[in-house]
Amino acid sequence: MEENTMTDGKMNRRTFLAAAAVGAGAVITRPLHGLAQAATAAAGGGAINAAILGAGTQGMVLLRDALAIPGVRFKAVCDIWAYSQKYASGTIRKAGQDAPAVFEDYREMLAGAGKMDLQAVIIATPDWMHAEQAVAAMKAGLHVYCEKEMSQSLAGAGQMVQTARQTGRLCQIGHQRRSNPLYRFALDLIARDKICGRVTTCYGQWNRPVSPASTWPEKFVIPDETLKKYGYADADGKPSMHEFRNWRWYRKYSAGPIADLGSHQIDIFNWFLGAEPAAVLASGGRDFNPSRQWCQDILAVYEYNTKGGSARAFYQVLNSNGYGNYFERFMGEAGTISISEDPARCHLAFEPAGKVPEWMTDVATVAADGQTPFSLVEAFKKRGGPDAEAQLKKNIHRLHLENFFAAVRAGDVKLLTCPPETAYATAAAVLAVNDAVESGAKVQFKPEQFKA
């Protein structure tokens, strides 16, 4: 056994140290922080009856990944759009499960939760519905897996935290990098092995090219009365398919790109630095699409006071240029680690003051940014434990869902890799960026702002 060195204070729990002989010399492999056990638990045990609420683009990703987890049965689909209902229910049937009950109104689904013996719901509706639906689901006795941003308002996020505590239901928020073994390995290298030395600079980006508005098949236009009933109407009260499909552009339904994309990566800054920020300043623009209510591009600088001293994190989200895609980077006097959900963007480079550990000398290097840093993926394969390669092959959301269902089976909230308290602290850091853009002033945080 080896002590888990997770820096968020919530992860000190069962870990294991798998010893394996790799290549000619036996090396001690890395602990997988309970994730391997979680996956095993998810594979065994009794069936869990689940529902999917919001079966759009991301809901379908989660549904497919959850259907691949043994013992998870989908009894219900809820979505206000016939198009999504049809797609989700067909996918469940094609996976060999019974035809699910189909609902338009989540309140009707929750009213029938007992009859359907539902235990869990996956929520992947637009952000503005998360707090209302997650709170109602927990009050109806269901465990909840809810997509990020957990809420577009901090008040909503706070209600989710309080309700999880009051009801004792498990609530996992969809910051899936927290269940990603490569991220957890990188954190060990930084926080435990101090491979980068003292980290003083972090960088993160999510760059996307200019893209057109989302559309819809003509035969699946939602009737006006349905759009109105569920709040998809413009400022004049006119039902709007455009707003329904492009909800991310509007303040009513979303907190904009910083919440949509930045929340994933700013969560990693907090997690890896083991701290919440002390201040943030930011600038943004709507240069290419003034009809978006939120800035399409934002550059933000966070200041942190970590245990090791001060640090700064620069974050940029662009919807005007996709160069370089998405990754996070941690830079110290001894080295740099770049990490991403895209394995091709995961590397480790040493500074002149850094020392390449002996176990890494034969790890493959890759071409990146005009250099040849070590491949983080190859390093993980060498040190990540006997099932490192199998973990890497799994879909990124599947690992986070496995963690959720394993925690539900075990009835152990402490197993969750992203409980609502953690996501609340992230939301507090993220949502303040919009205030900083609008005020043009540095926003100072108080530690109590990160607690619900």
CA dihedral 258, 260, 263, 265 (to 10 degrees): -90
149 cis-preceded (ω within 30 degrees of 0): yes
The footprint of ligand NAD on residues 159-178 (CB under 6 A) is: 174, 176
| CA distances in angstroms from 309 to 236, 333, 365, listed in the order given | 51, 13, 31
The nearest distance, CB 449 to ligand NAD, in angstroms, is 22
Return the residue of 183, 203, 230, 249 that touches ligand NAD, per CB under 6 A: 230
Return the residue of 42, 69, 121, 129 that touches ligand NAD, per CB under 6 A: 129
The nearest distance, CB 43 to ligand NAD, in angstroms, is 23
178-202: string of b/e by CB count within 10 Å (b at 16+)?
Answer: bbbbbbbbbbbbbbbeebbbebbeb
Burial status of residue 68 (CB atoms within 10 A of its CB: 0-12, 13-18, 19 or more): middle
Residue 427 backbone dihedrals phi, psi, to 5 degrees: -60, -40
Segment near ligand NAD (CB under 6 A), from 67-75, 80-88, 294-302, 429-437? 80-88
Nearest Cα to Cα of residue 397 among 87, 66, 123, 37: 66
Return the residue of 42, 50, 120, 124 that touches ligand NAD, per CB under 6 A: 124
Instruction: Determine, following the binding rule CB under 6 A, whether residue 243 of this chain makes contact with ligand NAD.
Output: no
The nearest distance, CB 213 to ligand NAD, in angstroms, is 12
DSSP helix/strand/coil, 398: helix
Measured from the CB atom, the residue of 126 and 156 that comes closer to ligand NAD is 126
Instruction: Determine, following the binding rule CB under 6 A, whether residue 420 of this chain makes contact with ligand NAD.
Output: no
Return the residue of 5, 58, 226, 306 that touches ligand NAD, per CB under 6 A: 58
User: What percent of the chain is helix, strand and coil (3-state, nearest 5)?
Assistant: 40, 20, 40
Instruction: Determine, following the binding rule CB under 6 A, whether residue 125 of this chain makes contact with ligand NAD.
Output: yes
Return the residue of 41, 48, 52, 55 that touches ligand NAD, per CB under 6 A: 55
Instruction: Determine, following the binding rule CB under 6 A, whether residue 106 of this chain makes contact with ligand NAD.
Output: yes
- C-alpha 61/C-alpha 50 separation (Å) is 15
The nearest distance, CB 80 to ligand NAD, in angstroms, is 4
Residues near ligand NAD (CB under 6 A): 53-59, 78-81, 84, 106, 124-127, 129, 147-148, 174, 176, 230, 260
